[in-house]
Structure 1
Amino acid sequence: MRPPTACVACRNRRWKCEVVTPKSPCTWCQDRQLTCSFTSSTARKKDWSEAHWEPRPYDSSSETGIRDEVASSADYQAAPSTSNGLPSNALRIELVELYFRYIHDTFHSLFHRPSLVQDVIDETIPEVLLFGIISLSSRFSNDPVFTGVDPRVRGGPYARKAQALLDLREVSLTTIQACVLLGAFVITEGEAASEAVFYSIACRSALVLDLPNLPGQSLLDQEVNRRVWWTLRMIDVWSSNGVRIPRALGATCSDVPHPMNEIIFHRLRRGDDSEPLSQESGSSLLTQMVKLNAILIDISSSRLSRHGPPRNCRSANKELNGWVGSLPPNLRDTQDNLSHYAALGLGPMFVAVHLGYYHYGALLYYQYLHRDSYDEHAPTYSYADKCKTHSVGLSEILYRAFSTPGCEVYYTMVGHVLVIASTVPLHILLFNSDEEQTRAARGRLEKNFELLTCLQRLWPTLDVSFARFREFHRACQNYKETSFRMDKWLLRFLLEFANPVGEKDPDEPLTETHPWSMQEWDLSPF
C-alpha cells in the first residue's frame, strides 16, 4: 500500500499537508499544537497560555475555495462525527478558527481567542458555546462532512442544539455569550424578533451581574467582561431598532473603561495579574466602534425637517468629522494600514470600523439627496454631496478589502450597508447627466451586485437584502420624483434591515410635511 502523503487531519480537511522534516508534525498541526499522525511519538498538547501569541498572518492556501464553490442541497444531511452531535476534534478546531476569521470582532466581540482555542483543544469549552460558534462558522468549511450541503443551511442543527443546551436559569457570562451567538444566528435566518429576544436576555443578564464591574480572577477576565459589555451596548441599539422597541441598556456608560488594544489583549493570559505596560485604548479597534456607536445615537436624534439642515445634523456632522480627524495615523483608512492589520490577523475588524463610519455618515446625510435631485444650489447641497462621498467610501473600502488577502468581510450586516450604499449610485443615474459620474455609478452598482451575490451564497438573510433593493429600484422607476423623499417607507428601508419593505405608497405621509424623529428608531447596524 502506498504510504499516505497527508496526515489524518489534512486528509479529513482535503487541504495540502506540508511536512518540513520527516517524522515531524505537518505545518497545519504544528501551528495549532495538535498531535499529528505523521509524528513518531505522541506530542504533548502545548498550552497556548505558555506560548507568546500574536494574531497570525493570513495564509491564502488555507482558505482556497471558500468563496468559489458552494453546494445547493436544500436540507442538511451530513451526519455528526460524535455521539453528542459535535464534529471530530480536528474539525472543531478548524470551525472555531473559521469563526474567529470571519465572524468574531466584526459581528461581536465575546472571547479571548487564545484561551477559547485552548479550551477547545482541552475539551473544556461549554458545549452550548461550541455549538453556537459552529452554527455560524460551518458555512465557511470545506471539510468532506459538509460535501453537498448548502452553506446557508449547515448551521441549523448546531443552533438548535445550542438552544436546547441554553439554561436561562444560569445567569452567567457563558449564558450571555450563548445568547449573543444564538441571536447572531437567528438574524441570519431573517428572524429579527427572535434576535431581539436573545439579545434582550443577554443585556438583562449583564445588568443583573453588573458585568463590567464583575470581579474577575485576572485582568484577562475583567477585560473579557468589558468587551462583552461594550458589545452588548452596540448590538442593543441596532437590534432594538430592527423591531422598534426600547433599548434594554441605559443611554450612558461613562464609568466603564474602553477596551484595550487588541494586540495587548491577545497577549494576556489566565491567572496573570500583572498589569501590561500599556492599556491605552485609543488604538483599540473595538474602542473606535464604541465611539462611533455613541455618535450614531446622536445621529438617530436628528429630526427631519423641510427647513434646511437641522441643528442636530450639524452637531452630528461635527462629531463625525471630529472622530475621523482624531484617529491615530495607523487607524486611518489607507491601503498601508489595511495591509498592516491584515498581517496582524485584524484586517476584517479594521474594515468593520470604517464600514461603520461610512454607513453612519450616509444615513445622516441621506435625507438631503431629494433636495439635491432638483436644486444643486440648495443650502443643503453640501450635505447631499457628503452622502455621496460616504457611499463611495463604503464601496471602495469593500473593494479593497476583497482584493487584500486576509481582509475580506463576510458578516451579514455587510449586505445591508452595501444595499443602502448602492441606492446612491441609483440616485446619480436618475438625476445626474454627467457622463463620467454616471459611468462610475454604473460600475459601482455592478461591483456591489457581485459582492451581494457572493454574500447571498452564505447567508439566507441576503435574500431579504436583495428583495429590499429590488423594491427600492421599483420605487425609483414608478415614483422618480419622490423616490428619495424621506417618507416613512424610506425610513423603514434604511433602518429595518431584516424586514421586507413592501411596495412604496406614493400617498404615504412625508416626513417633510409631517416631521418624523429618527430618535424613536434608535438605529445602529453594528
Structure 2
Amino acid sequence: MPSQPLPSVLSTLFSEESIYLVDLYFKFIHDQPHSLFHEPTFKASVVAGTVSQPVLLSMMGMSARFATQPDIRSRGPMYCAKGKAALKDDLENVCIENIQACILVGNNCFGDCSADAESLYFVIAIRMSQILNLGGCNEVDDGVMCETKRRIFWTCFIIDTWASGGSDLSRQFGWQAKQPRVPMDESVFSSMKPGDSDIAESEWRPGLWGHMVRLVGIYSQIQQLHTQLAETAEWDEALMDESVRRLEAELDAFAQNLGPGLKFSMENLAVFVSRGLGSVFMAFHLGYHHYYTLLFYQYLDQRRPSTRNGKKHADRCKAHATIICNILKASREVPGAEALYNIVGHVTIVSSSVLLHTYLFGEPHELEDSRNGLESNLESLVQLRSYWPSVELMINRLVVFQKNCIMSLGRNTHRFDKWMVKFLIAHSLALEDKVDNMWPDSDQGQTPEDASLERSRITQSMIMDIQNSDTFGGATGYPE
C-alpha cells in the first residue's frame, strides 16, 4: 500500500535531519538486531516523501541516540512518541510498513526500559506477518520485494525466539517444515534495483543474515535445554551430556561449513568493513559465540558431579566468552565495525559473568586474562549505556550475579538453577537476589580465603566504577 507524503508542517523539520538520521540508522542498526529494508529503495522513498510516517519517525527516534549534535539527539524521544502515535492511528492496516514500524517501535520501547510494550508490538508484527503470509511471494512482486518479505519473515522468527525467552513468554512462531529460503548475500541484495527479477536458486547464496537464521534454530534448542534443567530437581547427567553433545555437534558442523572467510579474525573483519558489512559481521559472531557460551555455561558449576567432558565444556565456555570480549573490543576500535544495538548489552553481560566467575574461582594462570577481559567488557557496557537506558538494568543484573558469586565464595561456586536460567535468557526481566541458597552440609563452615576476598574486592570496585561513571557519551568518536 503506498504511503502518504509527510504533512507540510513536519516536512520542513525533517528534510536534511531526516536524511541524516536515516543514514545513522543504516550505519548503526540495519541488518544487526533486525533486517527490514532494502536500503537504496528505502532512502529513495525518504527523498521522494512517500515513506511511511510510522516507519520514518520510529527510525529517527531510534537513530537520534547516535547523533553527535545534542539538539538532534534531544529530539529522539519526540520522534519516538510521534512514530508510536502514527502507528496506533493506522494499526488495523495490515501491511508491510506497519510490520516494520511495530518492530522499530518495539526496539525503542525495549531500549527505554518498557519490555512489556516491546512484547506487545513484537507480537503484533508477528501476527501481521502471518496474516500477509510473508513466507511466500506474489506473482507481482519483484526481486527486491521478495527478499524484503523474506527478511521481515525471518526477523520475526528471530525476534520471537529472543524476545519470548527474554520475557519468559510463550513463542508465537513455530518452526514449520516449509519455510522461505534464508536471506541472500547482503551485497547482492543491496545492489538489486526495483523491477529486477528475484535471484534464481542456481545463483543464490546465503548472506550473514541467512547464517544467523540457522544459528537461531540451534539457539532455540539451547533455550529448551536450559528450561528443562531449571525445572528438573535431579538432573540426569548422562542425558544432559548427550543433549549438550548433540547441540555441540550441530554448532561445530555449522562452523565447519562456514569456510575460512567467515571465521572471526581481524583480517576477515577488514574485508567485511571494506564491503560496508563490518557491523553485520560483528553481529553474526556475537550471536554465534554467545550460543556456544550458553550451551556450556552449566559446566562452570564446580559442585556438579564430575563428567567425562565437564572440564572441556567449562573451558570452551570460557574460550567463547573471551572471543566475545575480543569482538566487542574490535567493535570499539575499528571504524565500520560498531556493535551498538541494544541486545549487545545482554550478550556482554553473559560474557562478563563468565569472566567474573573465572576471576573469582579460576586457577592462578587464568586471573590476568579474565580480569583484563572483564575490564574491557565493562568499557563496552559504559558505551552501550550512553545510547540505551535499558543497559543500566542489564548492568544491575551483573551486580546481582556478582553478589551471589561472592556469597558463595566459601563454597567456591555458584549454583546453576532457575535463577541462573533467568539470568542467561530472560534478559528483559529484573533479576532478584537468590532466595534458596541451600548447600550440602559438607560446605557449611567453610570461609573464603584471603586471596578470594581480595579478588571479590577487585571485581566489586570494577563494577562500582562503571555504575558511578558518566552515562552520557553520545556517538562521539565514530565517523559520521
Q: What TM bracket, shorter-length normalisation?
A: 0.7 to 0.9
Q: Hey, what does 2:185 align to over in structure 1?
A: 261
Query: Relative to 1, partners in 2 of residues 1:509 and 1:322: Cα closer, same or farther, differing over 3 Å?
Result: farther
Q: Hey, what does 2:286 align to over in structure 1?
A: 355
Q: Hey, what does 1:180 align to over in structure 2?
A: 103
The reply on whether 1:439 has 2:335 as its aligned counterpart is no
The one-letter code sitting in structure 2 at the alignment partner of 1:476 is C
Larger RCO, structure (CA 8 Å, separation 6 or more): 1
Q: Hey, what does 1:155 align to over in structure 2?
A: 76
The one-letter code sitting in structure 2 at the alignment partner of 1:213 is G
Instruction: Using the aligned pairs only, state the percent identity.
Output: 32
1:102 and 1:411 in contact (8 A); partners too: yes
Give the C-alpha shift of residue 401 in structure 1.
Answer: 2.4
Give the C-alpha shift of residue 135 in structure 1.
Answer: 1.1
The reply on whether 1:84 has 2:10 as its aligned counterpart is yes
**TM-score scaled to structure 1, two decimals?**
0.76
Partners in 2 of 1:342 and 1:176 — Cα distance?
30
What pairs with 1:30-41 in structure 2 (closer than 5 Å)?
none
2:167 and 2:428 in contact (8 A); partners too: no
Partners in 2 of 1:146 and 1:325 — Cα distance?
45
Query: Relative to 1, partners in 2 of residues 1:129 and 1:374: Cα closer, same or farther, differing over 3 Å?
Result: closer
2:25 and 2:60 in contact (8 A); partners too: yes
RMSD over aligned Cα atoms = 2.3
1:182-236 deviation digits (Å, cap 9, x = unpaired): 0111010122221111111111111111112141431111110011101100001
**TM-score scaled to structure 2, two decimals?**
0.83
Q: Hey, what does 1:204 align to over in structure 2?
A: 127
2:109 and 2:117 in contact (8 A); partners too: yes
Q: Hey, what does 1:13 align to over in structure 2?
A: none
Give the C-alpha shift of residue 276 in structure 1.
Answer: 6.5
Q: Hey, what does 1:231 align to over in structure 2?
A: 155
Q: Hey, what does 2:72 align to over in structure 1?
A: 146
1:32-67 deviation digits (Å, cap 9, x = unpaired): xxxxxxxxxxxxxxxxxxxxxxxxxxxxxxxxxxxx
1:341 and 1:350 in contact (8 A); partners too: yes
Partners in 2 of 1:253 and 1:357 — Cα distance?
24
The reply on whether 1:241 has 2:165 as its aligned counterpart is yes
Q: Hey, what does 1:135 align to over in structure 2?
A: 61
Partners in 2 of 1:388 and 1:176 — Cα distance?
38
Gap runs ≥5 in structure 1: 1-80, 511-526
1:1-39 deviation digits (Å, cap 9, x = unpaired): xxxxxxxxxxxxxxxxxxxxxxxxxxxxxxxxxxxxxxx
Partners in 1 of 2:136 and 2:438 — Cα distance?
48
Q: Hey, what does 1:453 align to over in structure 2?
A: 382
Q: Hey, what does 1:20 align to over in structure 2?
A: none
1:82 and 1:88 in contact (8 A); partners too: no
Query: Relative to 1, partners in 2 of residues 1:438 and 1:85: Cα closer, same or farther, differing over 3 Å?
Result: farther
What pairs with 1:59-138 in structure 2 (closer than 5 Å)?
83-84=9-10, 87-138=13-64
Q: Hey, what does 1:400 align to over in structure 2?
A: 330
Partners in 1 of 2:201 and 2:417 — Cα distance?
53
Partners in 2 of 1:188 and 1:478 — Cα distance?
31
1:441-464 deviation digits (Å, cap 9, x = unpaired): 111111111111111111100110
2:146 and 2:198 in contact (8 A); partners too: no
Give the C-alpha shift of residue 508 in structure 1.
Answer: 7.1
Give the C-alpha shift of residue 155 in structure 1.
Answer: 2.6
Q: Hey, what does 1:345 align to over in structure 2?
A: 276
User: Which of 435, 438, 449 is matched with 1:505 structurally?
Assistant: 435
User: Which of 109, 117, 120 is matched with 1:194 structurally?
Assistant: 117
1:470-502 deviation digits (Å, cap 9, x = unpaired): 111111111233753211111111111122201
Give the C-alpha shift of residue 379 in structure 1.
Answer: 4.2
Q: Hey, what does 1:319 align to over in structure 2?
A: 250
User: Which of 218, 240, 262 is matched with 2:142 structurally?
Assistant: 218
The one-letter code sitting in structure 2 at the alignment partner of 1:381 is K
Q: Helix, strand or coil: the match of 1:301?
A: helix
Query: Relative to 1, partners in 2 of residues 1:184 and 1:156: Cα closer, same or farther, differing over 3 Å?
Result: same
What pairs with 1:240-389 in structure 2 (closer than 5 Å)?
240-252=164-176, 254-273=178-197, 275=199, 279-282=203-206, 284-302=207-225, 303-304=228-229, 305=235, 307-308=237-238, 309-371=240-302, 379-389=309-319
Query: Relative to 1, partners in 2 of residues 1:86 and 1:224: Cα closer, same or farther, differing over 3 Å?
Result: farther
Give the C-alpha shift of residue 142 in structure 1.
Answer: 2.3
1:417-463 deviation digits (Å, cap 9, x = unpaired): 111101112222222232x3201111111111111111111110011
Query: Relative to 1, partners in 2 of residues 1:299 and 1:254: Cα closer, same or farther, differing over 3 Å?
Result: farther
The one-letter code sitting in structure 1 at the alignment partner of 2:319 is T
1:400-421 deviation digits (Å, cap 9, x = unpaired): 2222221011011111111110
Partners in 2 of 1:499 and 1:86 — Cα distance?
41
1:301 and 1:312 in contact (8 A); partners too: no
1:484 and 1:490 in contact (8 A); partners too: no
Partners in 2 of 1:86 and 1:287 — Cα distance?
39
Query: Relative to 1, partners in 2 of residues 1:320 and 1:277: Cα closer, same or farther, differing over 3 Å?
Result: closer
1:202 and 1:232 in contact (8 A); partners too: yes
Gap runs ≥5 in structure 2: 1-6, 230-234, 441-480
The one-letter code sitting in structure 2 at the alignment partner of 1:298 is Q
Partners in 2 of 1:157 and 1:508 — Cα distance?
49
More helix by share: 2
Aligned pair count reads: 422
Give the C-alpha shift of residue 82 in structure 1.
Answer: 7.3
Query: Relative to 1, partners in 2 of residues 1:507 and 1:475: Cα closer, same or farther, differing over 3 Å?
Result: closer
Query: Relative to 1, partners in 2 of residues 1:265 and 1:253: Cα closer, same or farther, differing over 3 Å?
Result: farther
User: Which of 379, 384, 391 is matched with 2:321 structurally?
Assistant: 391
2:135 and 2:179 in contact (8 A); partners too: no
Partners in 1 of 2:358 and 2:241 — Cα distance?
24
Give the C-alpha shift of residue 280 in structure 1.
Answer: 2.3
The one-letter code sitting in structure 2 at the alignment partner of 1:403 is E
